[in-house]
A and B are shown apart, each in its own frame.
Chain A
Amino acid sequence: MKARVFVTLKGGVLDPQGKAIHHALEGLGFSGVNDVRAGKLIELDLADGTSDADIDAMCSKLLANTVIENYRIEKIA
């Protein structure tokens, strides 16, 4: 089984990378971009039967720094 973990900065946490991307998009002439936030996608290839609790622990213990980041887990059969 596979799982995707999306790690994103919490609201209110400044995202300089997202800001730079935003500026670059404007530089390319794309108007109407209100905001850009950059995050990470981590794909996990897991043994069948890995528990949700284990996947959640992987996220909270390592994959995301919960001081500044949120995570969302998407399981793929």
Chain B
Amino acid sequence: MKSAVIVFPGSNCDRDMAVAIEQASGSAPVMLWHRETEIPAGTDLIAVPGGFSYGDYLRSGAMASRSPVMAAVKAAAERGVAVLGVCNGFQVLTETGLLPGALMRNAGIHFVCRDVALTVGNNQSLFTSRYEADERIVIPVAHHDGNYFADEATLDRLEGEGRVAFRYAENVNGSARDIAGILNEGGNVLGMMPHPERASEPAHGNLDGARLFQGLVEGLMATA
């Protein structure tokens, strides 16, 4: 399986993401700098990692979403390549328009950095096949702008189409309908604020995130 991790100036979870993908897939991802204009041919998975790309200038993810590499990521996603955006990566995907809505300042204003209980909203997706339906899992969050917003019609559509992948069991940031992670219409793009790569090896004390990568790799191998 071929994968790539995008690196922006200010990304800081890119290496953790690469380690988690390598553990699940057995091969190390290519690290792609923001100035790249092409995704290597045959790439099955692109990860947009967490961090503070471009210092969160203007809006979180705003500058990164207009960088050269994101045009290539967008084109790849539209061809059906799997794209996983975590934290700042989720913000970048909404700013790019690959996912609907926006991530706003946490309702409580504080930066939230802690383990959070989630419920799996859809375990039939490419990303969530290793979870049970409605399973309660724990994944850490670390963000200032994680308050998911979309208009009511969009929220209804997301829920109606089973595109809410994860919900907060305890809403830590004010997100509409407790949304922690959503899928695009094609089901090949997932954006989520919690960090599965930080719960993916025994030393983390929690393996709930590892199953996301395992299920994803399994799904991609099956279709390859």
Contact surface of A with B, Cβ cutoff 8 Å: 13-14, 16-17, 19-20, 61-63, 65, 67-68
Contacts and interface: CB of A to CB of B under 8 A. Distances in A.
Contact of B109 (A13, A17, A67): A17
B102 A65 contact: yes
Interface residues of B, number: 19
Contacts of A14: 104, 107, 147, 149, 174
Contacts of B105: 16-17
Interface stretch (B58-66, B68-76, B116-124, B126-134): B58-66
Interface string B88-130: 0000001100001110111111000000000000000000000
Nearest to A19: B109
B149 A13 contact: yes
B108 A16 contact: yes
Contacts of B149: 13-14, 67-68
A35 B36 CA distance: 45
A16 B147 CA distance: 10
B1 interface: no
Interface in B140-193: 147, 149-150, 174
Contact of B58 (A17, A20, A62, A67): A62
A63 B57 CA distance: 11
Closest 8 CB pairs of A and B: A67-B102, A68-B102, A16-B109, A16-B105, A20-B109, A16-B107, A65-B102, A65-B59
- Quick one: which of B94, B104, B108 has the most chain A CB within 10 A? B104
Given A16-B107, A19-B109, 11 more contacts: A13-B104, A16-B105, A16-B108, A16-B174, A17-B105, A17-B109, A61-B66, A65-B102, A67-B101, A67-B149, A68-B102
10 contacts: A13-B104, A14-B107, A14-B149, A16-B109, A20-B109, A65-B95, A67-B100, A67-B101, A67-B102, A68-B104
A7 to B, nearest CB: 9
